[in-house]
Amino acid sequence: MSETTAAQYDWDLFVIGAGSGGVRAARTAAATGARVAVAEDRYLGGTCVNVGCVPKKLYSYAAHFHDAFEDAGGFGWQLAEAPRFDWATLRDNKVGEIKRLNGIYGRLLEGAGVRLINGRARVIDAHTVEVAGERHSASKILVAVGGWPFVPEFPGSELALTSNEVFDLAHFPERFLVLGGGYIAVEFASIFNGLGSDTHLIYRGELFLRGFDQQVREFTRDQMAAKGVNLHFETNVERIERVEAGLAVTLTSGEVLEVDAVLAATGRRPHLEGLGLDALGIELTESGHLRVNERFESSLPSILALGDVTGGPELTPVALAEAMHLVAHHFSETPTAPLDYRNIATAVFCHPNIGTVGLSEEQARAQCGAIRVYATEFRPMKHTLSGSQERCLMKLIVDDASDVVVGAHMVGEEAGEVIQGIAIAVRAGLTKADFDATVGIHPTGAEEFVTLRTPTRR
């Protein structure tokens, strides 16, 4: 960036949104010598830290203790009295941890020399932002405002909670209903079921987790049902009414369920309201996300965007990777290749967990033609003594012609932890022969990934 250009503006980069992507972009750009400011109107760390991955994983840990207490008996542990769950302790300890993380984000920005401005920013033109009554000029403006929960309209929809509120309920819902079929829906159904709620999941489709491997979806359905989650497919919520004992939820099937809380986990939409981008005519995709090129430039090149607002994979590590690439494109002298979105691993923290990387069996059949599928389903060694009937699924999908492993999937305890390592192998393009030549770690469940020898189907 030339000295003339730098002198022309107050900032080299003005970031709107202090979530994972925005903070990483701000810090990384500042490290190149750029003058950077960040505007945030809600909380540091964005969705992930405050109302997403972090509290969700903490609550998932809490919910797993339910099974752990039951499993302990088979190993000789006797509890003096029945375990009792206290919602307020979990909720308030979570609040303390998030405040700690908020402070870390603030110190990271301060340490990088980034100015933090509190307030909702509005883009005035290609190089001007207004926030808290003050106007700032910037060579480049980065929109990193993420998504916001979407609730469909139906009678009583205002009585439903979203993921923004569900972590901080004043009272624990003994009867809990989740509307939706994505990963947020199945995670919260598992969490509240594990914490002790009588839990229902309502989904209009025939099976949740659309887009995931079909065998994984079916196996997860069966395991969740076995743990006591009441699954209602091919039905929807017609209306919610407040009644003396809580909420009466009428389904399109005609069934009426009385519950204490309803969570609408029905998707998220870009949080663009009030940003002023519509007045600038910035192009959107059909889904309402900001359309960007491989340099993360919108149709107005000085306006950049990354993360959930652009419609890519709604994953924190993706936003972080995008931030690094964006800075390399715009604040580095060294050219960089576009970000490769293939083979991004992900986990779903339902119970049991799902971990997945690469292609599903259905995608592989469409893209590769001839494939080999290696799958195993078993009762983990731990449960030979615990008495639990929980089972584990592991699955490799191999392109038959090249022998390359194009997909790996797991449903079972700590699936995310296991798949992270497998993801490196899949990302590197290793073959089934490479997996076979790897000596397993015994006794572990993970060793099954390197001992699968006979194809289940072709």
Q: Which domain holds residue 218?
A: 157-266
Tell me: do 216 and 317 sit in the same domain: no
Q: What is the pLDDT of residue 4?
A: 47
For residue 29, tell me if it sits in a domain. Answer: yes
Tell me: do 214 and 294 sit in the same domain: no
| Cβ neighbours of residue 41 closer than 8 Å, sequence gap 6 or more | 118, 119, 120, 121
For residue 429, tell me if it sits in a domain. Answer: yes
Tell me: do 165 and 238 sit in the same domain: yes
What DSSP state is assigned to residue 52?
Answer: S
Q: How many domains does the chain have?
A: 3
CB 278 within 8 A of CB 285: no
Residue 150 phi, psi dihedral angles, 5° rounding: -110, 130
Tell me: do 134 and 165 sit in the same domain: no
Tell me: do 386 and 410 sit in the same domain: yes
pTM of the model: 0.96
Closest to 376 (Cα-Cα) out of 353, 413, 420, 409? 409
For residue 171, tell me if it sits in a domain. Answer: yes
Residues assigned a catalytic role: 442
Predicted confidence (pLDDT) per residue in 267-303, tens digit: 999 999 999 999 999 999 999 999 999 999 999 999 9
Tell me: do 22 and 142 sit in the same domain: yes
For residue 138, tell me if it sits in a domain. Answer: yes
CATH of the domain at 438: 3.30.390.30
Predicted confidence (pLDDT) per residue in 133-179, tens digit: 999 999 999 999 999 999 999 999 999 999 999 999 999 999 999 99
Tell me: do 141 and 10 sit in the same domain: yes
Q: What is the pLDDT of residue 334?
A: 85
Tell me: do 136 and 276 sit in the same domain: yes
For residue 415, tell me if it sits in a domain. Answer: yes
Q: Which helix (H) or strand (E) holds 22?
A: helix 20-31
Tell me: do 44 and 136 sit in the same domain: yes
Q: What is the pLDDT of residue 3?
A: 47
Report, as ranges of residue numbers, the positions in the chain whose pLDDT lies below 70. Answer: 1-6
Q: What is the pLDDT of residue 6?
A: 59
Q: Which of 231, 266, 301 is the last residue of a domain?
A: 266
CATH of the domain at 178: 3.50.50.60
Tell me: do 244 and 289 sit in the same domain: no
Tell me: do 143 and 7 sit in the same domain: yes
Q: What is the pLDDT of residue 335?
A: 81
For residue 182, tell me if it sits in a domain. Answer: yes
Question: Tokens 């609408």 identify what position?
Answer: 264
